[in-house]
Amino acid sequence: MKRNRSIPPVQVIPVLTYPDVEAAVAWLCNAFGATEHVRIGPNHRAQLMLGGGAIIVADATRGRAAPSGESVTHTIMVRVDNVDAQLARAKKLNAEVLMEPTDMPFGERQCTLRDPYGHRWTFTQTLADIEPEAWGGETIAPYPEQDD
C-alpha cells in the first residue's frame, strides 16, 4: 500500500462513534494506551493507533450513532502482552468489566470491558499456539507465518 500521512497505516480501520470525540480520545489514550495521531476539527474525528492497529473516533453526525442500551453491534478485539495489566489500567478509569480475565481453550487469556460510552472491547493475550482442531475449530487456510 502507498503511504499517506493522512490515514492510519493499517489495512482495517474500525470507525467508532462517540457522543464527545475529545472526551473519548482522552479516555482511550489513558485507559487503553492509544496514541492520537490526527485530529480533524475540534470535536469531529480523531485517528488513533492502538498497538499495531488503528481506530477512528467519530462524532455522532451523518447518520452515525453511539451505542445505546444493552444491544451489541460490535466488539473491538485488541491483542496485548498482558491482559491483567490492561484490565487494571482500564478499571482505574471506570471501564465496566463484562468478563474478568479468563484462560480460553484456544490458547488465549481474554477479558471484555465496556468503555464509558458503550463500546465493548475484548483484550486478548496469547498463552500458547494451539491448532484450531484441538478445541473444535477447523483450519481452512493457515495464517501467514509471523515473526515472534
Number of domains in the chain: 2
CATH of the domain at 53: 3.30.720.120
Q: Sheet containing 75-79: which strands, arranged edge to edge?
A: 75-79, 120-126, 108-114, 96-103
Give the residue from 21, 39, 61 where a domain finishes.
Answer: 61
The Cα–Cα gap between 8 and 40 comes to 13
Residue 119's domain comprises: 72-134
CATH of the domain at 78: 3.30.720.110
The Cα–Cα gap between 148 and 146 comes to 6
Give the residue from 28, 61, 94 where a domain finishes.
Answer: 61
Q: Within a domain: residue 76?
A: yes
Secondary structure class of 103 (helix, strand, coil): strand
Whether 89 and 117 map to the same domain: the answer is: yes
Q: Within a domain: residue 8?
A: yes
pTM of the shown model? 0.85
Q: Tell me whether strands 53-58 and 15-17 are parallel, antiparallel or unpaired.
A: parallel
102-114: average pLDDT: 96
Whether 53 and 95 map to the same domain: the answer is: no
Query: 11-33, pLDDT tens digit by residue?
Result: 899 999 999 999 999 999 999 99
Write the burial class of residue 92 (CB in 10 Å: 0-12 exposed, 13-18 middle, 19+ buried): exposed
The Cα–Cα gap between 143 and 121 comes to 23
Confidence of residue 1 (pLDDT cuts 50, 70, 90): confident
